[in-house]
Amino acid sequence: MTQYVDIDGGRIAYDEIGTGPLVVLSHGMGVDRRAYQNLIPLLADAGYRVVNTDMRGHGESSMNWASETGKAAISRTDVAEDLLAVIEKLGGGPAVIVGHSLSGGSATIAAARRPDLVRAIVEINPFTLTQKIDIGALLTNSHHRRGMVPLMGTMIFKSLRLWLKYLSVAIPIKNADYDEYLAGVAARLREPGRMAEFMKTGQSTPADAEAQAPNVTQPALIIMGAIDPDFPSPQAEGERIVAALPAGLGSLAMIDGSGHYPHFDSAERTAEVILPFLKEHHA
């Protein structure tokens, strides 16, 4: 059942299941909290209170927020502040934040800013560090090209069709719930204003998260789908993020055969990586 947290500027939608230490989930751009639907029961059954949020402007969260940057954008800092506000409103944690894609960078910022509220972070295929278009990789790496061309086209042409085409590449394992999930994504983005909110995510960069990476003091687990089309080499990107964190804080896990959404298409294997990390770092 959808619940809401009212914070400055709007309200964040979430649902909650389980009891125990708090784990807060935040999805990436252009989808909603249903992206975690296959992972949530595995975390709750293991003894955690799982709060699954919709990013500002997405899902059932409110639209037309004022960005911290003052621009018509949705930045990683904005989402980080929303997550910290949710943690405080729900009892103050501390929590482990699990952030995917854009929200991976937000988890970095939240941990750096409020280590009293964030015990550890899990970043799934995150955009935590600034990126450069690798023309050589686009020419030579067909899988990377198959994902990046529709992704870039989505942002340029504001095209739902191209976004769905990108998702078909980014989710290589088509589970039984794949078609229903994709139909739900499309239906949500056809709602008045939702596509425009999605486009705001493309007006920000990971520079704010990269700047905060050296300030993180809590453990961080980086999870990468091994065939994520967003990166020429997902493993190299994961290693780059671990290296940007203070020495000894970060660790990297790869999910073979999965793309940009391992928490959706490979939930059991993703849980097998996350649960030992939670057991070690989240009393």
pLDDT at residue 135, as a whole number: 92
Mean pLDDT of 76-91: 96
Mean pLDDT of 71-96: 93
Residue 240 corresponds to which amino acid?
R
Q: What is the mean pLDDT of the chain?
A: 96
pLDDT at residue 9, as a whole number: 85
Query: Nearest CA to 157 among 103, 198, 204, 102?
Result: 198
Read off the pLDDT band of 90 (50, 70, 90).
very high
Q: How does pLDDT run across 45-78, given as a tens digit for each residue?
A: 999 999 999 999 999 999 999 866 556 789 999 9
Question: Cα separation of 129 and 6, whole Å?
Answer: 30
Q: How does pLDDT run across 185-210, given as a tens digit for each residue?
A: 999 999 999 999 999 999 999 999 99
Read off the pLDDT band of 92 (50, 70, 90).
confident
pLDDT at residue 153, as a whole number: 98
Query: How many structural domains compose the chain?
Result: 1
The answer to which of 17-21, 66-70, 78-82 has the lowest mean pLDDT is 66-70
pLDDT at residue 68, as a whole number: 63
Quickly list DSSP for the chain.
Answer: --EEEEETTEEEEEEEE--SSEEEEE--TTS-GGGGTTTHHHHHHTT-EEEEEPPTTSTTS---PPPTTSSS---HHHHHHHHHHHHHHTT---EEEEEETHHHHHHHHHHHH-TTTEEEEEEES---S-----HHHHHH-HHHHHHHHHHHHHHHHT-HHHHHHHHHHH--S--TTHHHHHHHHHHHHTSTTHHHHHHHHTT--THHHHHHGGG--S-EEEEEETT-TTSS-HHHHHHHHHHHSPTTTEEEEEETT--S-HHHHTHHHHHHHHHHHHHHH--
The CB-side HSE value for 80 (13 A sphere, CA atoms) comes to 26
Mean pLDDT of 219-242: 98
List CB contacts of 1: < 8 A, sequence separation 6 or more: 15
Domain assignment of residue 277, given as a range: 3-281
Read off the pLDDT band of 93 (50, 70, 90).
confident
Question: Cα separation of 182 and 166, whole Å?
Answer: 11
Mean pLDDT of 35-39: 98
Tell me the percentage of the chain whose pLDDT exceeds 70.
Answer: 98
CATH number where 43 lies: 3.40.50.1820
Q: How does pLDDT run across 126-164, given as a tens digit for each residue?
A: 999 999 989 999 999 999 999 999 999 999 999 999 999
Over 90: is that where the pLDDT of 224 sits?
A: yes
